[in-house]
Amino acid sequence: MHEPESTDDTYTDPTLVGNGVQPPTRTETDSLGSVEVPADAYWGVHTMRALENFPISKRPISVYPDLVVALASVKQAAARANREVGVLTDRKAALIDEACQRIIDGEHHEQFVVGVIQGGAGTSTNMNANEVIANLALEIAGFPKGRYDVLHPIDDVNRSQSTNDTYPTAVKLAMTFSLTSMMRELDLLRVSFGRKGQEFHEVLKVGRTQLQDAVPMTLGQEFHSFATTLGEDYERLNETIKLLSEVNLGATAIGTGITADPGYAAAAVRHLSAITGLRLESAPDLIEATSDTGVFMTFSSALKRSAIKLSKICNDLRLLSSGPQAGFGEINLPPRQAGSSIMPGKVNPVIPEAVSQVAYAVAGADVTVMMAAESGQLQLNAFEPVIAHSLLQSITWMRQACWTLRVNCVDGITANVDRLEAMVASSVGVITALIPFIGYTEASNIAKLALKTGRPVADLVVEAGLMSREAVMAQLQPSKLSGIRPITMAIPLIDLQGEPSE
């Protein structure tokens, strides 16, 4: 029989196996005393205490591979800089370097086990990284885990560093890595909408303002506008990468650089730029940079903007595809799954619905980031872990949302051409195009009569003797109604060449 999930939130010892028998352990010691840790774990005492203290999110930092790679990159740069300034031996630096490279290459990410939500401004994350790198380096050198007399997590791996400069630097790197990946998906989605704009560029439809019938346009223009707005968001997000490139590595505890060689900061940033391929620069005021989290608010705001605008597009897709019999029914979204357990044949717009929910979560995360940024005191913000988690989760979800919207929805959208043509033919909105020839008052009278009788506008105008049939039809051509011709100075069709932006 299925056991109900436990509601006990107390800490469960991760060293216990399924039968309750404790596997082999090793003893590690910190300033608080000794602790038993699993013998085969690359992490140690500091990580063990974090597991005991923060059983909150049930999500380890390894759920964000970009953060793990960023931490290893920072430690690798630090080792190279420490060797360069002469405070770390060549042998130790080489071992740390190799251990970091293995993590960068994707190995041992499962060893980054501390929870994403933690106290201590990221100290537990930093110590988890220090311990994993130290024990991996020891293994490479042929020593057992825990032989910190040979190579130490703090004295060697964390040399010339503090959590307060390594953690924020790693978070900025992780966000840059993740954002770059997300922006690729956003741009591919832009291209997908643009291609639909080209496909539908001659399909006339009724435009709407305030959910009421307005003047005609083409379905292609509507989808073109979706592509344009996504392109604008791409540019705004791209601007934030520059802001994330300013780091405080070398600031150590509060920005004074205490315990670090005077040449360390510049060397560490230079090595980190080479490792990551990013153009990083040291903040001009390391004390300010260590306490300030304004860049995260700026980044979060840009991400929220993109998410909300994407949700607006999804709402439009839901409206345009509504029905299909009793709604707008202008377009067809690809059927992805049965929509009801009781109504046969019902298919729901599940992909746009999912994307909108991601947008709501991103908007909520933006509030979290704002509150955490405001709550920092004096020389450090203790709440950067929740900032990091909120933003990395938002980026991850946005990337996947853009992917599923493109692959499972937009690429397969089709137009209900016959229905669109019928709605345009019966729309009184076309009378707007005749105002320059018959005047607003006469146009208004014709519109009221068309609504009352259901007869076509063109017939009523001709019968009233206001224009000839030929003159009316010349002005009601689809190209003129939609502004494709430059008569209304409409925007040109998007030129994609089928390729996303670089």
Catalytic residues: 340
Query: In terms of C-beta density within 10 A (0-12 exposed, 13-18 middle, 19 or more buried), how is residue 498 classed?
Result: exposed
DSSP 58: S
Rounded CA-CA distance 159/156 in Å is: 5
The values of phi and psi at residue 477, to 5°, are -65, 145
Query: What token pair was written down for 200?
Result: 């539908």
The single-letter code of the amino acid at 69 is V
Query: What token pair was written down for 138?
Result: 């020891």
Q: Is 93 helix (H, G, I), strand (E, B) or coil?
A: helix
How far are the Cα atoms of 33, 127, 148, 337, 358 from residue 30, in angstroms, in the given order?
5, 12, 12, 55, 42
Rounded CA-CA distance 388/144 in Å is: 33
Q: What share of residues in the chain are helix, strand, coil (percent, to 5)?
A: 60, 5, 35
Answer yes or no: are the C-beta atoms of 159 and 78 closer than 8 Å. Answer: yes
Rounded CA-CA distance 411/125 in Å is: 41
Neighbours of 502 (CB within 10 A): 4
Rounded CA-CA distance 64/71 in Å is: 11
The angle, 0 to 180 degrees and rounded to 10, between the axes of the packed helices 350-374 and 294-320 is: 160
Judge if the upstream peptide bond of residue 14 is cis by omega within 30 degrees of 0: no
The single-letter code of the amino acid at 208 is R
Q: Could you write out the three-class secondary structure of 169-219?
A: HHHHHHHHHHHHHHHHHHHHHHHHHHHHHHHCCCCEEEEEECCEEEEEEEH
In 24-110, the DSSP E strands lie at 25-30, 33-38
How far are the Cα atoms of 113, 126, 194 from residue 229, in angstroms, in the given order?
39, 39, 11
Among 219, 210, 199, 232, which Cα is nearest to 310's? 232
